[in-house]
Amino acid sequence: MKYLFILTALCISPLSAQENESCCGPTATAEFASLGMNVLFAANHLAPEPFVYKTDGGSMMEIPAADKKNARIFEVPSKNPTKKFVFMIHEWWGLNDYIKQEAEHLQKELGDVTVIALDLYDGKVAADPKSAGEYMGAVKEQRVRTIINAAIAHAGKDAKVATIGWCFGGGWSLQASLQLKKQAAGCVMYYGMPEKDLKKLKTLNCDVLGIFAGQDQWINAKVVDAFKKNMKAAKKNLEVHVYDADHAFANPSNPKFDREKAGEAHTLALAFLKSRLQ
């Protein structure tokens, strides 16, 4: 399973969605969060096959966060001192063994880069779609942003950080890059909900690689086209690749993941990350 990723997440609870709605409608995170209880969306995510991974270089850690509740991360350190990092954000299942494996694979491929997989569920890991939907729906946006800030502080003010994630994590990959401000080095997002607020996109300080699925019913052609238009208006670089596949085709835990297309997407993502973290 060397196909991936990408930082590494994106939804909030119905309450959070209401809290974050603007006069123009729900935010990108709130809009995606609403899919947590969508029967068709859940049916499109088969339960992960049982998998236990013996770690090879990575370890779980707790780091201090501003809300006084420690954040959990799975860190795979570079063998040499580095200021280059990748934040990986899990899909809607949580920070499971599949994501830990991908973090370790990615670190080995990138070399002198430390990979940090963020746990946006605070220790919860789903084994079935029902639980995944509940966990995703229970996420509070403020807590997620606090976890991201904790990871930024952990990496250090001089760190150069790229982000990667799928689905829930794909949307939060972009949000994390926005939150990183000038420390953002590059963003890979797999079929995650794009940010729609042009003012926010104008603050982005890195290029974006968007990997999408042509058969996706949710992050569909209309959503992708709007993202292209908004990024162009914000004068930001966006590279888009759309595969003839369904949503979650590259998720490492998906029993039906498309090996060939996931491999192609991974090659693109790896080259993108290497070029932005030079």
pLDDT digits (tens, 9 = 90+) for 55-104: 889 999 999 999 999 999 999 999 999 999 999 999 999 999 999 999 99
Beta bridge partner(s), residue 71: 63
> Model pTM?
0.89
In the chain, % of residues over pLDDT 70: 91
Query: Does the 14-276 domain belong in CATH 3.40.50.1820?
Result: yes
Whole-number pLDDT of residue 46: 81
Whole-number pLDDT of residue 25: 66
Whole-number pLDDT of residue 48: 85
Confidence of residue 51 (pLDDT cuts 50, 70, 90): confident
Regarding beta strands 208-213 and 238-243, do their DSSP bridges make them parallel or antiparallel, or are they unpaired?
parallel
Phi and psi based region of residue 25 (left: phi greater than 0; alpha: psi -120 to 50; beta: remaining): left
Give pLDDT tens digits for 136-191: 888 899 999 999 999 999 999 999 999 999 999 999 999 999 999 999 999 999 99
- The SS3 of residue 162 is strand
Beta bridge partner(s), residue 62: 72
Q: What integer best gives the mean pLDDT of the chain?
A: 89
The tokens for 58 are 């990575």
Average of pLDDT values for 218-241?
97
Whole-number pLDDT of residue 5: 34
Report d(CA 35, CA 33) in Å as an integer. 5
Beta bridge partner(s), residue 242: 212
2 has pLDDT over 60? no
Which of 24-28's residues contact partners 24+ apart within 8 Å by CB, and which partners? 27/196, 27/197, 28/171, 28/175, 28/193, 28/194, 28/195, 28/196, 28/197
